[in-house]
Amino acid sequence: MTIKYRDLRKAATTSPPLDALAGGRLAKAHRVRAAHGQLDNLLGNDRNVVARVGLHGNAAFQIVSLNPVNATQRYPLRATYRAVAYAPAFAVLPGHFLRFSALVQPSGMTNKSDGAGGYMADGAYGEIAVQVVWDGPGTETVLYKIVLPNSAETYAGEDTGSGASWGNLQRVEIPLLFPGTVTTSKSSLRTWSETTTAEISIAYRGGVRCVDAVVQQVPYAYGRSINVDTTYSAALTTDGAGALVLSYPVAYPVDERSATDPTYVSELAADIAHRHQTAIGPVLAHWTSWTESSAVTAIVPPSTTTTSTTFVNMLSTSVTAWASTVPGWSLSSAPQQFKSCNALRETRGENGVVPVRVWVYGSRSVATNATVRFQTEAYSAIDVTITTSTPGWWSATGHLRCGANPQDSSVLQVLGKTGTAASTLSISAVLVEYVDL
């Protein structure tokens, strides 16, 4: 019966034999919704982080608590933005947009020229800006800003009272970052619900004292149009605002009612399950070279560099090879594909594998290519080749070893080398993104 139905459908019949196909039984909407709802867990359970920056282990903030009047610049200029983190154009999960949140201490002082070669106070001020380049039905660059609370201490310094570090800690957020053309209109929303990418940069302005700042994907709404859209990653029974559609589009459990009225019922249900298992996944690791020990005059993150012609760990260049005892990132919580790991993976102990795209923001100084290696085991690595002296994003795809379960050990390290001793490899950000291969 299945073969006959496929043959009839390919022939574009306008009157498929519904009684023969469905046995005369009507499709029950509540059962269809329940089945499709099981495929819709993505929108309700995802908050994955895609970019992060902050204090992160530094002993002190970049913004000091000293007299701003000085012969040299002690504080950032009030009007200058200083880039601190980047993320490439990663795939935004269907039905998701972004949220920015941060834990901050009250902001410190800023400087301005005193007109005599020195610097003077320009008032306490702090602001974090997040720029997102959205690419979907069009390309939009949107700048989101949040002004932070200021310190009331002398020289806008840190409060040194007992427990002040915890007591003065404040959380700030921009609840939703989204393209400007996304409105409450479902017809507009549906065009941004699939195949959207976002490229992110985070910048500080003024005396920002940030403990931790993250940009994360958050579920918003999934827009769709019945009998028009043919690719779904969310339940087929929502209308983009989370409500059930008024009527299920077909009374019989078949894929089309006529050549001009498709329902794609079983095909779409299978497609949702397939895409949730294979194509949709999180950002697994993100790092930026920004550090609170950077000079207040720096407007971009200070790159990590090497001139070595053999591989060294780019986060600790004294380490000359991958080692399980060296700190790194774990990929073990990544979703693993059946087609990559298969049913026999339990015979391989704690070994699994995950498909990824690895990104590095970097450059090399002379016309000999440099290599950045993402490695999770002696036998598991992906190499990215950097070919120009202009800083930018470079990427490659492949599979990396991970644990079979989230608690299994897995250490991702980033190594680098130049093509010649006369060259310098510089990197300032990396990102590892789950992809379907």
Query: In degrees, to the nearest 5, what angle opens at C-alpha 424 toward C-alphas 422 and 430?
Result: 155
pLDDT of residue 253: 64
Beta strand 96-113 with 119-124: parallel, antiparallel or unpaired?
A: antiparallel
Pick the closest to residue 362 from 75, 13, 86, 76 (CA basis): 86
The pTM for the full model equals 0.83
Identify any residues that bridge with 83 across adjacent strands, giving them in sequence order. 203
Mean pLDDT for each consecutive 10-residue tract of the chain (437 residues)? 38 55 64 61 63 89 96 96 94 89 96 96 97 94 96 95 92 93 79 90 97 91 72 65 60 68 70 72 88 92 93 93 92 76 59 90 92 95 95 94 83 95 94 86
CA distances from 55 to 97, 217, 269, 292, 325 (A): 26, 22, 45, 6, 24
CB atoms under 10 Å from CB of 423, counted, come to 19
What is the location of CATH 2.60.120 in the chain?
A: 43-219, 303-434
**Token code pair at residue 270:** 């299978």
Contacts of 19 (CB under 8 A, 6+ apart): none
CB atoms under 10 Å from CB of 238, counted, come to 22
The Cα–Cα gap between 84 and 86 comes to 7
CA distances from 243 to 35, 238, 250, 400 (A): 16, 5, 18, 40
Handedness of CA 243, 275, 398, 135 (dihedral sign): negative
Stated as kind and residue range, the H or E segment containing 30 is helix 29-37
Of the options 2.60.120, 2.60.40, 1.10.10, 1.10.3470, the CATH number for the domain spanning 43-219:
2.60.120
**Token code pair at residue 127:** 């602001």
The Cα–Cα gap between 248 and 251 comes to 7
DSSP sequence for 151-208: --SGGG----STTHHHHT-EEEEEEEE--TT--S-HHHHGGGSSSEEEEEEEEEEEEE
8 A C-beta contact, residue 206 and residue 36: no
The architecture of the domain spanning 303-434 is Sandwich (2.60)
The Cα–Cα gap between 420 and 257 comes to 66
8 A C-beta contact, residue 66 and residue 74: yes
Helix, strand or coil, per DSSP, at residue 217: strand
Q: Which residue is listed with tokens 């867990």?
A: 41
pLDDT of residue 1: 39
Let me know how long the chain is: 437
8 A C-beta contact, residue 269 and residue 53: no
**Token code pair at residue 278:** 């294979």
Cα 362 versus chain centre, distance: 18
pLDDT of residue 11: 45
pLDDT of residue 4: 36
**Token code pair at residue 289:** 């070279």
The Cα–Cα gap between 227 and 221 comes to 19
The Cα–Cα gap between 321 and 390 comes to 27
The Cα–Cα gap between 275 and 50 comes to 20
Identify any residues that bridge with 113 across adjacent strands, giving them in sequence order. 119
pLDDT of residue 388: 94
Handedness of CA 310, 311, 315, 321 (dihedral sign): negative
Stated as kind and residue range, the H or E segment containing 213 is strand 196-219
**Token code pair at residue 276:** 């949730």
pLDDT of residue 239: 59
With both helix axes pointing from N to C terminus, report the angle between 29-37 and 265-278 in degrees, rounded to the nearest 10.
10
Helix, strand or coil, per DSSP, at residue 109: strand
Q: Provide φ and ψ at 46, rounded to 5°.
A: -125, 130
8 A C-beta contact, residue 158 and residue 164: yes
Q: Which residue is listed with tokens 């320009």?
A: 122
**Token code pair at residue 185:** 């209109």
